[in-house]
Structure 1
Amino acid sequence: MTSLTIAEAAEKTGLTAHTLRYYERDGLLLHAVDRAPSGHRRYTDADLRWIEMVTRLRSTGMPIRDVRRYAELVRTGDGNEAERLALLLAHREVVERQLAEVTSHLRAIDYKIALYEGTLDKSA
């Protein structure tokens, strides 16, 4: 089992130590991170996997309150899978709408690029 310092976990996750502390303090993690006898945080592989999930949810725009709610549901254990699924499905719909909007913007940019490339090709 991996046991990483906060600096090592920050490097591995691409987050800052401050963000990792915030995630723990704000209830976004599944449990308090283990501590070494010195009191320093020690992150396990399971911690890193969960942090990756939280990071993905946040990167796709899930509000902190919803991430916190999802973490609460997972911590509670079996019996609330329907609520977890509903939360993730609702977020998925939001992400799909955002993706469609960005794809539409990309098509408009590609159109303009094609126009300019065509103009430059004719003048060359």
Structure 2
Amino acid sequence: MTITEVSKKYGLSADTLRYYERVGLIPEVNRNKSGIRDYTEEDCKWVEFIKCMRSAGLPIEVLIEYVTLFKQGNETIEARKELLTDQRKQLVEKMEDIKKTIERLDYKIERYEQAVVIKENELRRTDD
């Protein structure tokens, strides 16, 4: 796949894909005879993984560390697992914080809805 095709498929700009490659988040992509990037299915799996992790809020630095460990082979399995476990824990904590914020917003919205109803009732009474 060309960079344009991968860009469209994953909703990432070509510049983002080049950046991910440059900083080592995705393996160096092979190029065809014309020098155009030629993404393999494996390359696309990396793009999908990185996009998922980034959209969840994982920092670039953590992902670079993960990919670096991955490239070192099976002796880093435990370290990779620990890194992902730590990130998962942080995401769960963020999710709980977001849940509390949503609950608070729901409460505030409900209060405003009640205030609107009260105001409408008062206006009806003055019209009678």
TM-score range, shorter chain: 0.7 to 0.9
Residue number in structure 2 paired with 1:81:
77
User: TM-score if structure 2 supplies the norm length?
Assistant: 0.85
Partner Cα distance (1:99, 1:11) in 2: 29
Moved more, 62-71 or 33-42: 62-71
1:11 to 8, 11, 31: 8
Deviation at residue 48 of structure 1 after TM alignment: 1.4
Aligned length: 120
Q: Structure 1 regions of 5+ residues with no counterpart?
A: none
Matched with 1:66 is 62
Deviation of 1:92 (Å)? 0.9
Aligned to 1:110: 106
- Rg larger in 1 or in 2? 2
> Shift of the alpha carbon at 1:6?
0.5
Which residue of 21, 24, 27 corresponds with 2:21? 24
Greater share of helix: 2
Task: Measure how far apart 1:114 and its partner are.
Answer: 1.3
Distance 2:102 2:41 in 1: 37
Q: Which portions of structure 1, spanning 4 or more consecutive aligned residues, are displaced by more than 6 angstroms?
A: none
1:97 to 84, 89, 93: 93
Deviation at 1:60, TM superposition (A): 2.3
The 1-side partners of 2:11 and 2:86 are apart by 27
Q: Which amino acid aligns with 1:11?
A: K
- Kindly, what percent of the aligned residue pairs are identical? 37
Q: Quote the residue 1:40 is aligned against.
A: 36
Task: State the Cα RMSD in Å.
Answer: 1.4
* Unaligned stretches of 5+ residues in structure 2: 122-128
Q: Matched residues in 1 for 2:33 and 2:100: separation?
A: 54
